[in-house]
Amino acid sequence: MLIKQAPDIPSHEITDEKLYRERRRFLQQAAAAGLLLAPGLNAWPQESKKKLGPLKKGPFSTVEKVTSYKDITRYNNFYEFGTDKSDPADNAKNFRTRPWTITVEGEAKRPATYQLEDFIKPYALEERIYRLRCVEAWSMVIPWVGFPLNEIIKRAEPTSRAKYVQFTTLLDPKQMPGQRPGLLGAGLDWPYVEGLRLDEAMHPLAIFAVGLYGEVLPNQNGAPLRLVVPWKYGFKSIKSIVKMTFTESEPPTTWSKANPREYGFYSNVNPAVDHPRWSQAYETRVGEDSFLSRLTRKRKTLSFNGYADQVASLYAGMDLKKFF
């Protein structure tokens, strides 16, 4: 007897997805039955449970085992909601992501302000499974849903003076406790800003993500719209974006403003350039093994996070120790 199986999905992913679906069905049934669940499990805003689709399979997906939904949504960096890994899931539950507007401005022929839905609507949503390597030496594999950033840039028609694009996160201390005076947000300069050189931003690997695991992006992962630049350290992938600005000169970025010696503008994943306080040669894949092996960081970090074949040419002739 012939058993049909989707040819391009490795069996470990099917297992992970199946477990995830089962857990989700259980949660829905439990919610319908009025059972009380542990806080945080079923309390996210309705939008984050919404199935996105239809999705096409995008290019560049890795076949590595995807990180569990739980780790992806409970182990986060989003300092607007606190510096502990569990803070974003706990503190972003009631974050309002509708209505949401995105402004495109600066050196572009078609500056505009869009409602979120209009910003996204023209583009086909894709699933792309990417590695994410955090500067703190942990990594995950995340099944994003999104579309290429270069589509948005082409629509904006940058002028010949545009060399960079800056991205800005929402500024709203009422909703984002980390932005209020105090230590919850590590005293960063708000709003969070990031930037890319225009040719980096045009690279087909760079996407805007609006979902993960086939569903609307959970608040703690940067809803409603965040950048994903998989060959750079995670902090370049700015969350909850409200503005894109095309500029002539290199824009300031939050982490290099906070500590220029430790965090550069480029921040390409590079095992040969250590952070002043720790090695970047190895990393820990979150959820991969026991707690003990988390501490032993046994996975070798790859140049450009394993995307060197695609992106190394962007930096031909540049000294990546100087432009770290």
Ligand X SMILES: Nc1nc2c(c(=O)[nH]1)N[C@H]1C(S)=C(S)[C@@H](COP(=O)(O)O)O[C@H]1N2
Residues that bind ligand X (CB under 6 A): 76-80, 132, 134, 169, 192, 221-222, 234-235, 237-240
Is the omega angle on the peptide bond into residue 111 within 30 degrees of 0, that is, cis?
Answer: no
Which of the choices Mo ion, ligand X, none does residue 44 contact, using the CB cut-off of 5 to 8 A by kind?
none
Q: How far is CA 227 from CA 37, 51, 166, 235, in A?
A: 32, 20, 11, 10
Which is closer to ligand X, CB of 49 or CB of 155? 49
The nearest distance, CB 186 to Mo ion, in angstroms, is 12
The nearest distance, CB 234 to ligand X, in angstroms, is 3
Count of residues touching Mo ion (by CB under 5 A): 5
Which of the choices Mo ion, ligand X, none does residue 16 contact, using the CB cut-off of 5 to 8 A by kind?
none
Q: Give alpha helix (H) positions in the chain.
A: 11-32, 69-74, 87-91, 116-120, 149-156, 198-201, 254-258, 291-296, 308-311
Three-state DSSP class for residue 142: strand
Which of the choices Mo ion, ligand X, none does residue 193 contact, using the CB cut-off of 5 to 8 A by kind?
none
Which of the choices ligand X, Mo ion, none does residue 76 contact, using the CB cut-off of 5 to 8 A by kind?
ligand X
- When binding is defined by CB under 5 A, the residue of 58, 106, 158, 234 that contacts Mo ion is 234
Q: How far is CA 122 from CA 119, 165, 228, in A?
A: 7, 21, 19
The nearest distance, CB 268 to ligand X, in angstroms, is 15
Work out the angle at residue 267's Cα, subtended by the Cα atoms of residues 83 and 216, and round it to the nearest 5 degrees: 55
From first CA to last CA, the distance across the chain in angstroms is 56
Which is closer to Mo ion, CB of 30 or CB of 273? 273
Contact residues toward Mo ion (CB under 5 A) are 77, 134-135, 234-235
